[in-house]
Amino acid sequence: MNENQKQDLLTCSRTELEELLQARGKRAFHGRQLDAWIWRKGVFEIDEMTDLSKELRASLRDEFEVKVPKIVEVVTGEGENSATKYLFELSDGARVEAVYIPSEDRVTVCLSSQVGCAFGCKFCATGLLGLARNMTTAEIMGTFLMIRANSEKRISNVVFMGMGEPLANLKPVTEAWDRLTDPDGIGLSRRKVTISTVGLPPKIRLLAEREYPPKLVFSICSADEERRRELLPVAGRFTLDENYEALMDYANRTRNRITVAYLVADGLNDTIEEARKLDRWLRDLPAKINMLRYNEAVGDFRRPSEEKVEEVAAELVRLGRTVVLRTSRGRDIAAACGQLAARQITKQKSEDSIE
């Protein structure tokens, strides 16, 4: 950090804020006040932290700042309880997305964990971008804080299912999970903050070792090994059997039921036989199935018909599976991961070529 660069307070834990104030001759409780202003009250300007003395605020302002990301674009769908997608610009100019999803009984925020993604899943817009870098804990939390600041409703749920593979950036993601569920900070229920993965068995096992293991979502596009490997060129290096064993171990060690996110696309996996393959793969895994309709993003994949989706769901229910088929939202806001960011990059390249 150069002499003129201020330290970002989002990078500091509550204990570090206490130590930071004590090192400047102040009492530790001032650090706890700082922490509460940022995380509980959502105040980012030091001058607005009014229970700190003017002298202390002036001193802090010279050295520190709360560095939240810039909102570049906001797209909201039509109708009641429509989803809203945010495109953020980070301090180095990198751009990431997050989605605000209200419903009758909850408000969910979907967060990104990486700038781009290295996994190259064939149906994912983020895969087009490649991986630029991992997001830091402060950057992840900054996107959440900015969405909360613009929300009229209380956010109740968070899922790490945006740009990137969360388990490929495990430390910052789990630190963000700790921040979100801190009872003296943001205070979300541990049962309401979920981490997703396309399947990294070694990281799944590491996640199970945490004192408070998060709820886990395993995203699957096909229970056919060959087809899955074709669609997921990187994640497909770990077999479905390897993932099954890691997920079963996770469920047994944590006592958490696994959520299986089944992404359904036209002509890909919207058949009765694909439903039966998924059932056979699940075997004894304690799991519920969230069926997701594909939002057109890249390649030749298309959204399935409602009739096909309902047929697949009905077959899974007939086979004894718990299936959640929620009302589909977000198609009109480019809700597939990476679509806004990819569009912005394409636009910038076009402008550059004109110049």
Q: Is residue 305 part of a domain?
A: yes
Residues 105 and 223 in one domain: yes
Residues 136 and 239 in one domain: yes
3-state secondary structure of 262: strand
Residues 130 and 242 in one domain: yes
Residue 242's domain comprises: 70-346
Residues 329 and 217 in one domain: yes
Q: Is residue 351 part of a domain?
A: no
**Is 21:34 a contact under the CB 8 Å cutoff?**
yes
Which CATH number do you get for residue 19?
1.10.150.530
Residues 183 and 284 in one domain: yes
Among the candidates 20, 47, 65, a domain finishes at 65
Pair type for strands 215-220 and 193-197: parallel
**18, 97, 139, 315: which one is catalytic?**
97
Among the candidates 32, 65, 98, a domain finishes at 65
d(CA 300, CA 266): 10
**Is 63:86 a contact under the CB 8 Å cutoff?**
no
Residues 19 and 39 in one domain: yes
Tokens at 150, concatenated = 């613009």
Q: Show pLDDT as tens, one digit a residue, over the chain (355 residues).
A: 555 689 999 999 999 999 999 998 999 999 999 999 999 999 999 999 999 999 999 999 999 999 999 999 999 988 778 899 999 999 999 999 999 999 989 999 999 999 999 888 877 777 778 899 999 999 999 999 999 999 999 999 999 999 999 999 999 999 999 999 999 999 999 999 999 999 999 999 999 999 999 999 999 999 999 999 988 888 889 999 999 999 999 999 999 999 999 999 998 899 999 999 999 999 999 999 999 998 765 567 789 999 999 999 999 999 999 999 876 655 544 555 555 555 544 444 434 333 3
Residues 11 and 82 in one domain: no
d(CA 167, CA 231): 19
Helices of type H across the chain = 14-22, 28-35, 54-63, 126-129, 137-149, 170-180, 201-208, 225-231, 240-254, 272-282, 306-318, 339-354
pLDDT for position 231? 87
pLDDT for position 298? 59
Residues 165 and 202 in one domain: yes
Q: Is residue 352 part of a domain?
A: no
Which CATH number do you get for residue 173?
3.20.20.70
Q: Is residue 1 part of a domain?
A: no
Q: How many domains does the chain have?
A: 2
Task: Examine the residue annotation and report whether 337 is marked as an active-site residue of this protein.
Answer: yes
Residues 43 and 175 in one domain: no
Residues 135 and 44 in one domain: no
> Which residues are CB-neighbours of 84 under 8 A, at least 6 positions away?
74, 75, 76, 77, 99, 100, 333
Residues 47 and 141 in one domain: no
Specify which residues 87 forms β-bridges with.
73, 97
d(CA 267, CA 250): 32
pLDDT for position 302? 87
**12, 117, 121, 337: which one is catalytic?**
337
Tokens at 149, concatenated = 């600041």
**Is 215:191 a contact under the CB 8 Å cutoff?**
yes
Task: Examine the residue annotation and report whether 273 is marked as an active-site residue of this protein.
Answer: no
Among the candidates 16, 47, 65, a domain finishes at 65
Tokens at 191, concatenated = 């049962």
